[in-house]
Chain A
Amino acid sequence: MEENRILEVKNLQLSFQLDVGTNHVIRDISFHLNRGETLAIVGESGSGKSVTTKAILGLIDDNGAVEEGSILFRLNKNGKEEIVDLLHSTKSFMQKNIRGSKIAIIFQDPMTSLDPTMTIGNQIMESMLEHKLVKSKKEALERTRNLLDLVGIDHPDKRMKQYPHQLSGGMRQRIVIAIALACEPDLLIADEPTTALDVTIQSQILELIKDIQKKTGVAIIFITHDLGVVANVADRVAVMYAGKIVEEGLASEVYYDPRHPYTWGLLSSIPSLDGKEEEILSIPGSPPNLIHPPKGDAFAYRSSYALAIDFEEVPPMFKVSETHFVASWLLHPDAPKVEMPDVLKKRLNQYSHSKEV
């Protein structure tokens, strides 16, 4: 693993045994995360993005998961660094050394993420006490106060004694973030952290996450179904479809030079902010059933740019630049030249202009 990488997922495959057959949820994906970087993983529900995070945390349900590949993580233990394969670690190793202490997660719905019968303070302190990061209850309290301050909650002493039902959704998500940061993790996974919130609160939480990364240098994997949300947060973006990564690159590359027709679809379906009536291109159809994954390129079945070979063979990752990769036969030298839809082109032009201004 390269020196600046903190996480490297290699050829990960995950499937679940169901009554009706084997569900191939993750079909050979690879990606990496550098220190202090934010990687956005974008895709529709069912594309396998949440399962990937569960695999990183070792929280895959036992119902007959079949796992292949590896998830390498740079574990910093008492100043010594070693590389561990999270996919093949024992449950107790994950619980004692990884979850909560080194890798933390923020879930989607803050309304159901907190234990209703425990005070906020105890819920935040729980992981530091569990991982013996603090020597005394006093130290834990002090740390909790600082954390609440960091996530922008005032009157920390009063809040610590309150129960989740006494707080609003936005406040609760701040608490969930404080819980995630309690042990100063090296990697933070944000699983759709803003989806369940009001639009105004959404941007506050996004700002908070950005701010925290600046202050703590934590690496972040940001899971979302909405490319619009992560535009200002992500350093790199990976687009997932049907258990595969179809396009991966720097944020600028994915946003301003998208190459995969699925990414085009995702970008065109973001409602424009200027409020002008515009054609929103939605992607027709719905994701394939992964108990019976379609042959070849899974997206071709919904794409108006489909090629004959798409229905025969899975496309490899074509390299666009050192950092930009796309899995689509359209990038093959023999493929017909296709352009992104005009609507999208126009819109991207606007974005890049507004960026420059």
Chain B
Amino acid sequence: MTEHKKELFKRLEPKEYVTQELISNEEPKFFRDAYRRFKKNKGAHIALFMIIGILFLAAFGPLIGGHVYNEVITQHINLPPRVPFIENLGILNGMRDNVNIYLQKGFNDVYYWFGADGLGRDLWVRVWMGTRISFLVAFVAVLIDVIIGISYGLISGYYGGKVDMVMQRFVEIISGIPNLVVVILLVLVLKPGLQSIIFALMITGWISMSRVVRSQVLKLKELEFVLAARTLGASSFVIILKEILPNIIGQIIVMTMFSIPSAIFYESFLAFVGLGLQPPLASLGVLISTGYQSLLIYPHMVIFPVLVLSLLMLSFNLVADGLRDAFDPKMKGF
């Protein structure tokens, strides 16, 4: 053993040190943590930029490209896609069956970036106009989720007892009917169109959100901090707003994100079946529905709307997944 100086053996008071608590009991930086986790998720990040990109194109796409929405030019019927510069690379060059249709018909300076449809309308413009519809439906879905879903869940869960029982029986019966049936019957009564789709979403879209909110509220309202607030005489409204809502905001965001792709899907599905928007209005579903009949001869009419729809759905799902992992890694995958 090495020799030690005697003065090292004098008594001292305990000193400051880093304890386990000091690290783990840091104030919960909920959103910062969630953001940090989200940032690590490359897929979700790319998807977010993808959504922004598609949103940008939906907003400004129809303004560029040189054609006008619903402008019918009969000579241009069924023209394949042709994009300047890119055409030199051997793709999107106006060729069908090894013949350049544009040059064959003498449209040397005409360009349809996504081609033209069976009435000679520009698909570029129509695809992005259709994407606008998808975003509109997404926006409405979010609104419905937030307004109806959250308040239904909050009220049912917070008041409990008889209120909860009646409200839950109602949900049980509504959710016992397949969504598809509700939507089809409604649209049947209300005549196909955007309004009826929105109304159908209102009836079915909020149920899962209300369930999640209700179960969270049931869990939270027994916790000490809520009991404490109640003992101090805070009103129900204040408790819901100040104590409960901030604690479930993460899950609400995640649920909202998941409702977007399913709403977009429903719109395109209804359009595909013939119950959605009616031509000449364009939505991605309408475009796919009209295009698929000539899929084998003019695949371009389907490929572009399918591509945009799939990318949009994929991106929203990826972002929703990323948010779920970021906010609450333990939440179940649905």
Contacts and interface: CB of A to CB of B under 8 A. Distances in A.
Direct contact of A and B (CB under 8 A): yes
* Size band of the interface chain B makes with A: 20 to 34
Nearest to A290: B20
Interface string B17-35: 1111111000000000000
Nearest to A318: B1
Contact of B6 (A289, A316, A334): A334
B105 interface: no
B9 A336 contact: yes
B10 interface: yes
Contact of A289 (B1, B10, B23): B23
Nearest to A287: B20
A288 B10 CA distance: 23
Given A300-B14, A302-B14, A303-B14, A289 B19 contact: yes
**Interface size for chain A: under 10, 10 to 19, 20 to 34, or 35 or more residues?**
20 to 34
Nearest to A20: B23
A292 B16 CA distance: 13
Nearest to B13: A306
Nearest to A301: B17
A305 B13 CA distance: 8
Interface string A175-192: 000000000000000000
Contacts of A311: 12, 15
Contacts of B109: none
A120 B10 CA distance: 60
B7 A46 contact: no
Interface string A263-289: 000000000000000000000111111
Given A287-B19, A294-B17, A329 B9 contact: yes
B71 to A, nearest CB: 56
Query: Binding site of A, secondary structure by majority: helix, strand, loop or mixed?
Result: loop
B4 interface: yes
B4 A305 contact: no
B244 to A, nearest CB: 29
A288 B15 CA distance: 12
Given A309-B4, A316-B1, A332-B4, A285 B10 contact: no
Contact of A305 (B8, B11, B17, B20): B11
A86 B4 CA distance: 38
A309 B19 contact: no
A301 B4 CA distance: 20
B256 to A, nearest CB: 28
A289 B7 CA distance: 29
Contacts of B8: 307-309, 312
B17 A334 contact: no
B12 A288 contact: no
Contacts of B12: 300, 306-308, 310-311
Interface of A: 20, 46, 284-289, 291-292, 294, 300-313, 316, 329, 332, 334-336
Given A288-B19, A306-B11, 20 more contacts: A285-B19, A286-B19, A286-B20, A286-B21, A287-B19, A287-B20, A289-B23, A291-B18, A291-B23, A294-B18, A300-B12, A301-B14, A301-B15, A301-B16, A306-B14, A307-B10, A329-B9, A334-B6, A335-B9, A336-B10
